[in-house]
Structure 1
Amino acid sequence: MAYTVSNEALKLNATASLFQGQAYGDDLPVSVFQVASVPGGGPSLHVHPYPEVFVLHRGEATFTVGDETLKVSAGHVVVAPANTPHKFKNTGDEPLLLFSVHPNKEVIQEGLEND
Structure 2
Amino acid sequence: MTTTPVPSSLVRDADLRIGTGRSRRFVGAEHGADVSYFFVENQPGEGPGLHWHPYSETWVVLEGTVRLRVGDRILLAGPGDTATVAAFTPHGFMNAGDGLLRILCIHASATIVQTFLDND
- TM-score grouping bracket, smaller chain normalisation: over 0.9
CA positional deviation for 1:43: 0.5
The two structures have a TM-score, normalised by structure 1, of 0.94
Bigger Rg, which one? 2
1:37 matched to 2:71: no
Deviations 1:5-43 (A, max 9, x none): 111111113132011111123xx2210110000000000
1:62 matched to 2:73: no
1:111 matched to 2:86: no
Partner of 2:22: 15
The two structures have a TM-score, normalised by structure 2, of 0.90
1:96 matched to 2:89: no
Q: How does 1:72-83 map to 2 (within 5 A)?
A: 72-83=77-88
Give the residue type in structure 2 aligned to 1:9. D
Give the residue type in structure 1 aligned to 2:28. G
1:85 matched to 2:90: yes
CA distance in 1, matches of 2:78, 2:31: 32
**Coordinate RMSD, CA, aligned:** 1.0
Give the residue type in structure 1 aligned to 2:30. A
Equivalenced residues, count: 113
Structure with greater proportional strand content: 1
Secondary structure of the residue aligned to 1:22 is helix
Instruction: Tell me which of 6, 12, 18 is aligned to 1:6.
Output: 12
